[in-house]
Structure 1
């Protein structure tokens, strides 16, 4: 039994031999710069069955001296967004509920110059984007 993993961004395929993998339930996570695909599978008596596939999209940000623009596909999932300084102190926070596609512009004019990071918690994942003001 073999599992083929297709690398979308580079057009390559990786082959995995599952002959020695014990029967059971498995989760396959495939990640790139924009998203994480999570697929649940079961392997029983040499038969691999796909059960469910979900996709979690990563935040996309753009920063200038005055604003941080964030786009995030939440697909109705709850999310918490925080902008933190180098020491981890929360400077800006927002909870997002019941939205499918989120576009936010955070005013960072009053933040001192320095290093910050945007931290997004969603669907059991944490995404961190560093930025400098």
Structure 2
């Protein structure tokens, strides 16, 4: 079995690598309005059903989350003045990007800084026949770690086999193409790590 896995690993061929300019038109996702009582109204444009809106503390703990149920424009009021003093973020998790805007609470006063609003573009995995296409845009050239694991469908492996790994640095546009043809049947899992987040894509061959 070990020889089979080793042969499979050798045949897991990265066909080519190239840089492609990905076109993402991005404008600020969060429209913040504040009334005299420091109540916050959050408006999100161009949202889709299934997008996830969260409020997180600076330790990453989720304090609030809501799945968007209607497409278009979302508006909701939040009373953030009762939060303990500290740093927080609003996070909107969309199909191919994650938008965040930080805010702070000090003595029941809420302050947003639009200049610190950020966008993280998720790694995108597309499958066409025997080819797997990977792309990722990072305007700040954040490192991207890619690891591909294989589990044979006959259940003979107790743990997934690492087939390929790479960490890409100092690159704004990342593109990779992998070929799955001729490989043993089973399940593949691609794990991406970037900007402190982990993304996973599973493929059955």
Question: Same-fold call, TM > 0.5?
Answer: yes
1 or 2 for the larger relative contact order (CA 8 Å, sep ≥6)? 2
Do the aligned partners of residues 119 and 12 (structure 1) sit closer, same or farther apart at CA in structure 2, a change above 3 Å counting? Answer: same
Structure whose CA Rg is larger:
2
Do the aligned partners of residues 29 and 88 (structure 1) sit closer, same or farther apart at CA in structure 2, a change above 3 Å counting? Answer: farther
The Cα of 1:79 is off from its aligned counterpart by 0.8
1:75-94 equivalences under 5 Å are 75=139, 76-86=141-151, 87-94=159-166
The Cα of 1:38 is off from its aligned counterpart by 2.3
Instruction: State the match for 1:52 in structure 2.
Output: 116
Q: Which of 2-11 and 12-21 deviates more?
A: 2-11
Say whether the 8 Å CA contact 1:41–1:52 is kept in structure 2: no
1:20-59 equivalences under 5 Å are 20-45=82-107, 46-50=109-113, 52-59=116-123
Q: Equivalents in 1 of 2:182, 2:164: separation in Å?
A: 11
Structure ranking higher in strand proportion = 1
The Cα of 1:63 is off from its aligned counterpart by 1.7
Alignment partner of 1:116 is 2:188: yes
The Cα of 1:7 is off from its aligned counterpart by 5.5
Say whether the 8 Å CA contact 2:133–2:178 is kept in structure 1: yes
Q: TM-score, normalised by structure 1?
A: 0.85
- RMSD, aligned α-carbons: 2.0
- Please give the per-residue CA displacement for 1:28-52, whole angstroms capped at 9, x wherever unaligned: 2221121112222212242422261
The Cα of 1:89 is off from its aligned counterpart by 2.1
The Cα of 1:65 is off from its aligned counterpart by 4.5
Q: Equivalents in 1 of 2:188, 2:85: separation in Å?
A: 45
Q: Equivalents in 1 of 2:105, 2:87: separation in Å?
A: 6
Following TM superposition, the consecutive aligned residue runs of length 4 or more in structure 1 with deviations greater than 6 angstroms are none
Question: Gapped runs of 5+ residues in structure 1?
Answer: none
Say whether the 8 Å CA contact 1:3–1:18 is kept in structure 2: no
